[in-house]
């Protein structure tokens, strides 16, 4: 137990540097206010010494203890649980250098987050839906943590676009019509109006849903307001950009001029899609264009530069397809994409310049089935 009275100005500085949160690595508990106790303005943190204020205390030293007893650089803010762990239950597991590393990491993070100016505030759009039989849940804590240093949440609330629970299956046309209309109405009510009123100046989008609906979300977003489309990584499980691999190598191919059937565009970045699967839907004479990755896999997009390269390649393809086949045609789109690229595909498409698109979805046991159309007249 500490015997030193810590000056109030030192205590205040520590609470400010820590953001009022526990500095134990991985904890980050808010130590201001307690809903259970009913004290919104209460403080429930403990001032812990790295080097004890007495020689016989945890990590104590015959000389340094007295010198560091009131030093801000020797104090940490802890929740009750971790204060007891470092000073009583597991002292040997918490040497001085480990605690100092925790202190530096925590205070550097707080300094970075609080230094972000107001102009970097971004409203968070969260779009989660069931994919097959699995619920794709998007954690608010995880997405807020992924935004700095470029942006920070403009408010503590997310804008949630929710899908209806339907008895229809995703290989049925009714499923896609209802979900499309539901998404459009929610977007108009919760996002579109606020953009028009200039309440929203930037969006951070976190989305996990069936691909046709992600493309529709991207179409709704368009370029009406600047937006960052985040990607959920599988390894490690995180929304933070990883930048741990080489940039994605995109490959573009076009059909032989002799192909005069339906026009198809294959976007195969998450997995390989063979042309025969598309021909089974559109016929053997289908003119199949493609944008694929050199080595496709489901965790391929690791940096925003991968999104930028995809947008550039897709924009060029849309132009080339229209130039060859002319206006007034329908483009059949077969997407197998990371979630963020599906949203970007919808944002790249231009309603006044590009062909109408019919978007297909891979339904288990049914192959590719038509889902949504955009740009239809």
Q: What is the CA radius of gyration of the chain?
A: 27
- Enumerate residues 6+ apart whose C-beta is below 8 A from 131: 208, 209, 210
Work out the angle between the directed axes of helices 211-221 and 173-187 (0-180°, nearest 10).
30
Q: Per residue of the chain (377 residues), what is the pLDDT tens digit?
A: 567 899 999 999 999 999 999 999 999 999 986 544 445 556 688 999 999 999 999 999 999 999 999 999 999 999 999 999 999 999 999 999 999 999 999 998 888 777 766 678 899 999 986 534 444 456 788 888 899 888 889 888 899 998 887 788 888 889 999 999 999 999 999 999 998 888 999 999 999 999 999 999 999 999 889 999 999 999 998 999 999 999 999 999 999 988 989 999 999 999 999 999 999 999 999 999 999 999 999 999 999 999 999 999 999 999 999 999 999 999 999 999 999 999 999 999 999 999 999 999 998 888 899 999 998 75
Q: Please report, for the chain, the start and end positions of each structural domain, with discontinuous segments joined by +.
A: 8-114, 119-377
3-state helix, strand, coil in the chain (%, to 5): 35, 25, 40
Report the distance separating Cα 232 and Cα 238, nearest Å: 6
Q: Are 53 and 4 in contact (CB under 8 A)?
A: yes
Show the tokens assigned to 199.
């309440």
Nearest to 24, CA basis, from 73, 75, 70, 83: 83
List, in sequence order, the alpha helices (H) in the chain.
8-18, 64-68, 80-84, 96-114, 140-145, 173-187, 193-196, 211-221, 275-282, 304-325, 339-348
Length of the chain: 377
Nearest to 99, CA basis, from 57, 58, 53, 43: 58
Q: What angle do CA 74, 75, 78 make, to 5 degrees?
A: 145
Residue where the block lists tokens 């050199």: 294
Q: What is the pTM of this model?
A: 0.74
Q: Are strands 159-162 and 227-229 parallel, antiparallel or unpaired?
A: unpaired
DSSP result, 273-299:
--HHHHHHHH-TT-EEEEEEESS--TT
């Amino acid at each position: 137990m500490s015997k030193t009275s810590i000056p109030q100005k030192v205590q205040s500085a520590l609470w400010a540097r820590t953001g009022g949160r526990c500095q134990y690595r991985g904890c980050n508990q808010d130590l201001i206010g307690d809903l259970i106790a009913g004290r919104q303005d209460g403080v429930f943190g403990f001032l812990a010494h790295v080097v004890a204020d007495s020689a016989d205390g945890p990590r104590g030293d015959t000389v340094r203890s007295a010198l560091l007893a009131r030093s801000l650089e020797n104090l940490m803010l802890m929740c009750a649980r971790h204060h007891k762990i470092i000073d009583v239950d597991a002292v040997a597991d918490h040497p001085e250098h480990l605690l100092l590393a925790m202190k530096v990491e925590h205070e550097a993070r707080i300094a970075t987050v609080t230094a972000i100016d107001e102009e970097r505030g971004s409203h968070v759009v969260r779009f989660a839906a069931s994919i097959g039989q699995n619920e794709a849940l998007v954690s608010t804590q995880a997405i807020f943590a992924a935004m700095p240093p470029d942006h920070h949440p403009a408010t503590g609330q997310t804008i949630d676009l929710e899908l209806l629970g339907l008895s229809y299956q995703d290989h049925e046309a009714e499923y896609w019509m209802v979900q499309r209309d539901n998404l459009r109405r929610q977007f108009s009510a919760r996002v579109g109006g606020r953009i028009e009123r200039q309440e929203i100046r930037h969006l951070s989008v976190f989305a996990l849903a069936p691909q046709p609906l992600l493309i529709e979300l991207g179409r709704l977003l368009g370029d009406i307001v600047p937006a960052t489309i985040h990607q959920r990584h599988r390894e490690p499980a995180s929304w933070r950009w990883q930048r741990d691999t080489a940039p994605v190598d995109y490959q573009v191919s076009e059909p032989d001029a002799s192909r005069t059937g339906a026009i198809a565009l294959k976007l195969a970045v998450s997995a390989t899609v063979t042309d025969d699967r598309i021909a089974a839907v559109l016929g053997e004479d289908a003119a199949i264009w493609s944008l694929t990755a050199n080595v496709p896999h489901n965790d391929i997009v690791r940096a925003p530069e991968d999104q930028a390269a995809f947008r550039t390649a897709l924009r060029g393809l849309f132009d080339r397809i229209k130039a060859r086949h002319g206006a007034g045609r329908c483009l059949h789109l077969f997407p197998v994409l990371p979630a963020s690229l599906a949203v970007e595909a919808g944002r790249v498409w231009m309603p006044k310049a590009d062909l109408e698109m019919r978007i297909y979805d891979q339904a288990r046991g049914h192959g590719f089935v038509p889902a949504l159309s955009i740009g239809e007249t």
